Structure 1
Amino acid sequence: MAGWNFAELWETAAEAHPDAPALVQGERRLTWAEVDHRADGVARWLVDLGVEEQDKVAQYLYNCPEYMESMFACYKAGLAPVNTNYRYGPAELRYLWDNADAVAVVFHGCFAERIEPLRRELPKVRGWLWVDDGSGPCPSWAVPYEEAARSAPVGERTRAPWGRSGDHLYLLYTGGTTGMPKGVMWRQDDLVVLVAGLLLGGLPDEPDYELFRSRLPNPPPVGLPACPLMHGTGALVSKGVWTQGGCVVTLTSRRYDPVELLETIGRERVNVLAIVGDAFAKPMLRALEAEPERFDVSSLMAITSSGVMWSEETKRGLLARNPNMVLLDAFSSSEALGMGASVSGGGTAAATAKFQLGEKAVVIGEDGRLVEAGSGEIGMVGVGGRIPLGYYKDPEKTAKTFKVVDGKRYSIPGDFARVEADGTITLLGRGSVCINTAGEKVFPEEVEEVVKRLPEVADCVVVGVPDERWGEAVTALVEPQPGATLDEATVVAHVRGELADYKVPKRVLVVDSIGRAPNGKVDYRRCRERAMEAVGVQVG
């Protein structure tokens, strides 16, 4: 079947370097031969469930070796992996797995209690694969992951009757305008050419696995996703490392620990690090500066980040510790890779939020025309070339994001920008007033509606306030009912009972009036400035 396929690539890498490390977490070390064989076992277990071509398999996991391994298994079996945010609450999980038509779920044992009451509401799910994390025994309704991983006969590849194709999908769920996620449909062929092709000096449109084998680097890279594999940044960087026959290292802690990160970089001689902007980089830099002789980051060749501001000051501090590495600040989204990039290196840090427009990227004005560089006109950034097919089962949102301009199809996620005369772009933000907190998307309307269900609340607006730790801290401005009293703890507890923890306001500010316009609309910019002043953050 036509097109590049990740399973074929990774099997080729396993054959080329069978004894090289493929996955490392703490004391756990798996070679390419071991991972290849274990993924065959999981793929066999999935096929034996009676699945059909391109059925969906949800991955409900923290960072761990089983994440990449089970993804490999899905690709071997011609199935589509579905990322699952481990911070989701029951309603969000139910929606995601039902919307994705998931037929199987690979999950960490600590989530068994949360899954238990949902099972009867998810009749499409045929199999549950339990990954032991020491949190308790395997429930009766699940199968131990290790049992599946050991089920393949030695030396026998797992191939489903329908085979493998470059048209097979990677389903990357991302937040929607109502806060509920939507599945971005990426063809494997497109991702291979975009991700692997860039790293290996380009790949031809027609698959040539012997050519691919000849381009595998020696030694292969060691990559570490400090950010979650459930998000595009961590997953795509890890796919890129594996597609060079490299090793993916994951941290043992489930909470970001910059000291563990730095110790792991030195111990495993990590070459490529994936982070999410200042939320990860600033604590890392503080740890380096606090104990300058303790950590060795000389092995790092590149740090890549996407989705959150990565300040010039922080980049400069990191480069002072290793001037030989390159810092890649990517302006991308789940729907659009390559909108822009900012590259720092040679001891010189690029300016904050200053990006060079990508090779296939354009800025499109309100009238549908391409914006000319230096014109001062504001438009939305779009990227052409190899882009997703659209959103899974959502033709309406697909039509709004993926549009044809001057005969070419573009992905236009909604980022407003101005193109300067030198080809750089000045980002102006999302029209959706989406809040980006530690790499997570929070849509204000969703949180507002939950807060307004409290009987004591008359009105509410939720904004993102700049924060060193989170990037943006979810902050609620709440107007109480006449005569009612409100306290922060009540609002926080109420939201936590209905939404994921990262959507819970970090601060609650009680105000006399939200100040809506006569038409019912609210000025989010003014509300944000008001919140910033209240918490002591400089407006400007």
Structure 2
Amino acid sequence: MLSQTRVAHARGATGTPLIEETIPTFFAAMAQRQAEHPALVSRHQDRRYSYAGLRQASLQLASALLGLGLQKGDRVGIWSHNNAEWVLMQLATAQVGLVLVNINPAYRTAEVEYALNKVACKTLVTMARFKTSDYLGMLRELGPAKLPHLRHTVWIDEAGRGDEQPGMLRFSELLARGNPEDPRLPAIAASLAATDAINIQFTSGTTGFPKGATLTHRNILNNGFFIGEAMKLTPADRLCIPVPLYHCFGMVLGNLACLTHGSTIVYPNDAFDPLAVLETVQAERCTGLHGVPTMFIAELDHPRFREFDLSTLRTGIMAGSPCPIEVMKRVVSEMHMGEVTIAYGMTETSPVSCQSSTDTPLERRVSTVGQVQPHLEVKIADPETGAALATGATGELCTRGYSVMLGYWDDAEKTREAIDAEGWMHTGDLATMDDEGYVNIVGRIKDMVIRGGENIYPREIEEFLYRMPQVQDVQVVGVPDRKYGEELCAWIVRRPGQALSEEQVRAFCSGQIAHYKVPRYIRFVDAFPMTVTGKIQKFRIREAMKEELGLQEDRTA
């Protein structure tokens, strides 16, 4: 009997219905059900909120924002690392239909000017400064002439402390102006629809300025809920969130996953610090921990790692960039996270499309990004035609369903390029799907290396090199080559105290992988160029190598 080839197209379960409420309506019901249960712990600020307290404060802030003359649909920016003010802004803006605009804390003057003007932002809440970043100084440098839409700048102070900032308002003063019983609040909330735009997130790009992915209540509330379902979150869970809130990882996989399940949000610090994470997990008895692979590596390899009791941990999410199999195994065995899950997605899909569950067999969790999320569809498509391929074949991963963004703000052309006429979001990621619907990401279409006519996926080489005990982290890219079109280059971070040479790396590869997959160029580095969210910027590695080798792009081989 002939076997039938299956098509790489999967649909998620629909047994649990989608939430068709807005964020404020859903949160109000949760706060009523468990008013005194802990909702938020911000360790570095020494602040704690119950569900009732968090809702009361968010209503007070929503009233204060209306007092600035803001109206439903206006854009309000937040330019800050993680803190209680961030989540208050997330809830307060949703309460009155304001569109929260997430500004990357790494942005500098040209980028923040572009972002604020692109969406005509009327109010900006910002940190005053962080380390070497003087946010208020950058805003003053730009001035009203370059930010014509901006009416109010609110800076996050520490309980009234800090110098006065002429022309700017303290966050504590703004909050004090609000009234949680403001009669406008329920009236505006009742006028909101789940399909209203509620959030704009600027996607990181390798060239030019980023695009503003526009998301709705329905997008992010449901995604947060189903992410929490996959983790089996309950009110007993306490989730440590060291990933940034300005990104979907923090505000959806973190905040909304907790708030839709009555769990407790725990912020260990304003920005990632591995020691603060370890201390917080122990002190707050956290049951979950989020992070990108580089964060988990930093925690595992911290010299004081063995001092901390992490036995309360059971779950969490590793996402944001490809998850090395060896790192995943260490997280399970050394951090007690036997129910850790892998999630895959992109900002434009709110963000998660695929996720493993807590009971997915470990071998599937370490080798795939799980299966399609409920109420979504994914397919592996021919990048040229968009037709679904057979299972096992490599193609572009596409997503369709409730999670797909409304579009890029004020950019219909880019939206049409990303979302086709049938509603499929084209991710640009190369993937395969097996007969059970498990998806494996093999790389980015633009990262695929073509050497002498052979298609090489850097992820495969990286996973192989992670087997070397001396390798802490590794990234593989292609660099131009006149003879072969491209050659492989590996940047390697050694484990602390370990010696490793180029010759040892090549000897490890010899006879184990095809000769054309052995990196021609091997460099040992202390760290990789990356975004604030921990995504490796491979294009910068390529640029550095091209400059070092005096190479120019040449694909005419």
Do both share a fold (TM > 0.5)? yes
User: Is residue 196 of structure 2 the alignment partner of residue 168 of structure 1?
Assistant: yes
User: Is residue 59 of structure 2 the alignment partner of residue 44 of structure 1?
Assistant: no
Whether contact under 8 Å (1:225, 1:250) holds in the other structure is yes
Q: State the partner residue of 2:49.
A: 30
What fraction of aligned residue pairs are identical, expressed as a percent? 20
Name the SS for the 2:318 alignment partner.
strand
Q: Which amino acid aligns with 2:244?
A: P
User: Is residue 417 of structure 2 the alignment partner of residue 380 of structure 1?
Assistant: no
User: Is residue 334 of structure 2 the alignment partner of residue 306 of structure 1?
Assistant: no
Name the SS for the 1:228 alignment partner.
coil
Whether contact under 8 Å (1:61, 1:108) holds in the other structure is yes
User: Is residue 246 of structure 2 the alignment partner of residue 233 of structure 1?
Assistant: no
Cα displacement (A) at 1:191? 2.4
Q: State the partner residue of 2:148.
A: 123
* Deviations, residues 255-288 of structure 1 (Å, cap 9, x unaligned): x3212101101111222222112x011121123x
Q: Which amino acid aligns with 1:514?
A: L
Matches for 1:67-106 after TM superposition, within 5 Å: 67-106=86-125
Change (3 A) 1:414 1:304: same
Alpha-carbon distance in 2 for matches of 1:466, 1:349: 27
Alpha-carbon distance in 1 for matches of 2:311, 2:183: 39
TM-score, structure 2 as length reference: 0.71
User: Is residue 392 of structure 2 the alignment partner of residue 355 of structure 1?
Assistant: no
Change (3 A) 1:257 1:266: same
Q: Which amino acid aligns with 1:272?
A: G
Larger CA deviation: 320-329 vs 383-392:
320-329
Matches for 1:7-22 after TM superposition, within 5 Å: 7-22=24-39
Cα displacement (A) at 1:52? 2.7
Name the SS for the 1:81 alignment partner.
strand
Q: State the partner residue of 1:247.
A: 264
Alpha-carbon distance in 2 for matches of 1:356, 1:371: 19
Matches for 1:423-442 after TM superposition, within 5 Å: 423-433=437-447
* Deviations, residues 393-412 of structure 1 (Å, cap 9, x unaligned): 111111111113xxx42111
User: Is residue 151 of structure 2 the alignment partner of residue 151 of structure 1?
Assistant: no
Change (3 A) 1:158 1:266: farther
Whether contact under 8 Å (2:378, 2:400) holds in the other structure is yes
Q: Which amino acid aligns with 2:291?
A: I
User: Is residue 297 of structure 2 the alignment partner of residue 282 of structure 1?
Assistant: yes
User: Is residue 84 of structure 2 the alignment partner of residue 65 of structure 1?
Assistant: yes
Contiguous gaps of at least 5 residues in structure 1 = 203-215, 437-443, 445-460, 471-494, 496-501, 524-540
Name the SS for the 1:388 alignment partner.
coil
Change (3 A) 1:34 1:469: farther
Q: State the partner residue of 1:114.
A: 138
Contiguous gaps of at least 5 residues in structure 2 = 1-18, 130-134, 449-457, 460-476, 478-485, 496-528, 530-535
TM-score, structure 1 as length reference: 0.74
Name the SS for the 2:423 alignment partner.
strand
* Deviations, residues 471-516 of structure 1 (Å, cap 9, x unaligned): xxxxxxxxxxxxxxxxxxxxxxxx9xxxxxx979689555463143
Q: Which amino acid aligns with 1:367?
A: T
Name the SS for the 1:150 alignment partner.
helix
Q: State the partner residue of 1:364.
A: 381
Q: State the partner residue of 2:551.
A: 514
Whether contact under 8 Å (2:235, 2:264) holds in the other structure is no
Cα displacement (A) at 1:43? 1.3
Whether contact under 8 Å (1:109, 1:138) holds in the other structure is no
Cα displacement (A) at 1:466? 4.4
User: Is residue 290 of structure 2 the alignment partner of residue 262 of structure 1?
Assistant: no
Change (3 A) 1:465 1:130: farther
Alpha-carbon distance in 2 for matches of 1:331, 1:402: 18
CA RMSD of aligned residues (A): 3.5
Whether contact under 8 Å (1:172, 1:334) holds in the other structure is yes
Name the SS for the 1:413 alignment partner.
strand
Larger CA deviation: 321-330 vs 380-389:
321-330
Cα displacement (A) at 1:228? 0.7
Name the SS for the 2:276 alignment partner.
helix
Name the SS for the 1:24 alignment partner.
strand
Whether contact under 8 Å (1:251, 1:261) holds in the other structure is yes
Name the SS for the 1:165 alignment partner.
coil
Q: Which amino acid aligns with 2:201?
A: L
* Deviations, residues 158-207 of structure 1 (Å, cap 9, x unaligned): 527643221222222212463412111222123222322564699xxxxx
Larger CA deviation: 59-68 vs 237-246:
237-246
Q: State the partner residue of 1:416.
A: 430
Q: Which amino acid aligns with 1:321?
A: E
Whether contact under 8 Å (2:59, 2:180) holds in the other structure is no
Name the SS for the 1:354 alignment partner.
coil
Alpha-carbon distance in 1 for matches of 2:360, 2:206: 40
